[in-house]
Amino acid sequence: MVVSAEDGVPIDYLNPLPTLSPREVIGSVMAALHRSNWETPTPFYGFEVALRFFAPTHQAKLANAKPAGFARFMQRPHKVSQIEWNEYRYDGDLVLLTSDDGVREAYQTISLRAAPTDEWQTSRWKLVQVEFDYGTTVTPPTWLVEHVYVAEPDTAEDIEFLKAQAPPEPQVLNWNGQIVSLETPREVVQNVMRALRRMDEPYPLHGAVVATRYCSPRNRASELSPQVFAKYLEEPFYSVLKEWDEMEFDEDDEEEDGESNHKEYEVLVRREGQESFSIVNWVLSSYEGQWLIDSMNVLE
């Protein structure tokens, strides 16, 4: 289904509610960011509404961004398509996952464009369920937006547009207020490799769910359901990802220096009893501070 903007886009929900589905949250944020809601009924109104639907872990919330500052951030060249849209559609199924910290997560890929003759631009949304503790009252779990990954990775300069106050090192708050470090690109690769090796643990297709979770908007696998993604791994070419018994990183790979927004790894894997290794090539980029997989290829 394609959502089109005619004279304007009404905002279905002005505030997050526990009853809203992930797609209802996304639709409300998309409508808020449409140009018809930028200045009506008050300046930066749409950006103010969008901020209400962001999780405490969203970079705009961590930076204490105000509606005007958030509007300026969204005019960055690789972000502006998110506010200039006139059509958008959902690509692929909604992917649901419970993280190792017990947080429920939802992932949805969206394509959008400003005019019918324009090429579709891809973004990938991550939502988390948040409970707010007000001392005497704990709210029911509510879906909120944690990240919107666009096809072009962020740079350090992009993040500066949002910063009001920033933590000294990359970190993020999880839903219950605990400070946890963001995963390094190597940790992302390790997480996916281990999940694929035990595809159906702790539940069926868990490995495919984890793998699609870490796909960037540039990666077409982000549009696949875990069921379809798992079928790709049944091909002989990819079977080593489910059958390896030994894994090691290429020693020539440089250690993370914190400077580059791109990283490439070659991981050596082999089955028990085999003499030769297969090479799995991984290309990752940093999107809103999170390392995501742009591509993965098996090289025999």
- Please report the pLDDT score of residue 26 as a whole number: 96
Task: Report the range of poorest mean pLDDT among 52-56, 138-142, 197-201.
Answer: 138-142
39, 33 Cβ separation under 8 angstroms: no
Task: Report the range of poorest mean pLDDT among 59-63, 141-145, 166-170, 281-285.
Answer: 166-170
Residue 2 reports pLDDT greater than 60: yes
SS3 38: coil
Q: Output the average pLDDT for the chain.
A: 82
Give tens-digit pLDDT for 239-296: 888 888 998 887 665 554 456 788 999 999 888 878 788 899 999 988 877 889 999 9
Give tens-digit pLDDT for 108-148: 999 999 988 999 998 999 999 988 766 677 778 899 999 99
Residue 5 reports pLDDT greater than 90: no
Residue 34 reports pLDDT greater than 90: yes
Q: pTM for this one?
A: 0.68
- Please report the pLDDT score of residue 126 as a whole number: 93
Sheet holding 262-270, edge to edge: 246-249, 262-270, 278-287, 290-299
Cis peptide before 168 (omega within 30 of 0): no
Give tens-digit pLDDT for 211-241: 988 888 888 888 788 888 888 888 887 888 8
* Nearest in space to 30 (alpha carbons), one of 64, 65, 63, 1: 1
Domains of the chain: 2-167 (3.10.450), 185-299 (3.10.450.100)
- Please report the pLDDT score of residue 96 as a whole number: 87
Answer positive or negative: Cα dihedral of 233, 103, 28, 56: negative
